[in-house]
Structure 1
């Protein structure tokens, strides 16, 4: 596996931290049995949308349409 820094100039500590996260994710994926589904990404989880309260009409409704409450 090759990791390339495209922008910026990370310190050795920042690079080591990023590499540790990538290696931990790869180890977790490798430890799953063959054919088992991987962990769900919270962004694609439909339950995330269903748990939020929909904005109600009012003067400040537009402020709640993008930012999480």
Structure 2
């Protein structure tokens, strides 16, 4: 099935806070990634849902792009 041409753009999140302890290596990687993040925290799952919901609204006039949810990491 092909989505319609006005289908909302995908919103790939950065590292999502899963309330999981993770392995020591995962915690070190998270700390390193957060050093270069403008907001200095992981995104909450609810924040991803809110961004996707806004793209799904009839008022969203966004096509052909992705909404990057990475806390400013790619802008660094």
- Give the alignment's TM-score, normalised by structure 1: 0.28
Greater RCO between the two (CA within 8 Å, min separation 6)? Answer: 2
Greater helix share, 1 or 2? 1
Bigger Rg, which one: 1
- Give the alignment's TM-score, normalised by structure 2: 0.26
